[in-house]
Amino acid sequence: MRSDAKTVQEYLNSLPPDRKILIEKVREVILKHIPEGIEEAMNWGMISYQVPLSICADTYNGQPLLFAALASQKNHMAVYLSAIYSDEKLRGDFIKNYKLTGKRMNLGKSCVRFKKIEDLPLDLIGNTIAAMDLDTFIKKYESRTSKKSK
């Protein structure tokens, strides 16, 4: 379910009330833990937490680097955590700590899908978002893209 909303508030207002409440709770956690320099915007049809082009303009698609995102999809909601995609240790720690919570985990490469807020370990989401600063995230991106071009 891609949204055409132009602002985060417009996106939130377009959601059914039950989903809006859940997305707002997760958004609050993200905003509390997001590293300095990351901006909140609407991009790719979801609430995006991205590296501004003014900080890192040389991206593979000319778009801001996606650090994290939050979306209400047709059959679930999702938190996208690019840091667990770009850092194997962080991903391993995330999976291990998620399992320790006893909560149901539905994980893709970088997305954590959930239907109920009870399925989502909000503290772990916040800690994972805070675990990688902006400079480290950009360096990991540049390292991956330089390896691909060789």
* 76 located within any domain: yes
Alpha carbons within 13 angstroms on the beta-carbon side of residue 116 total: 4
In sequence order, the 6+-apart residues with CB closer than 8 A to the CB of 117 are 22, 25, 26
* 60 located within any domain: yes
Span 34-59, pLDDT tens digits: 999 999 999 989 999 999 988 988 88
* 78 located within any domain: yes
* Owning domain of residue 74: 8-141
Q: At 56, which CATH number?
A: 3.90.1150.200
In this structure, how many other beta carbons lie within 10 angstroms of the beta carbon of residue 128? 23
Span 62-118, pLDDT tens digits: 889 999 999 998 899 999 999 998 899 999 999 999 999 999 999 998 899 999 999
Residue with tokens 């850092």: 87
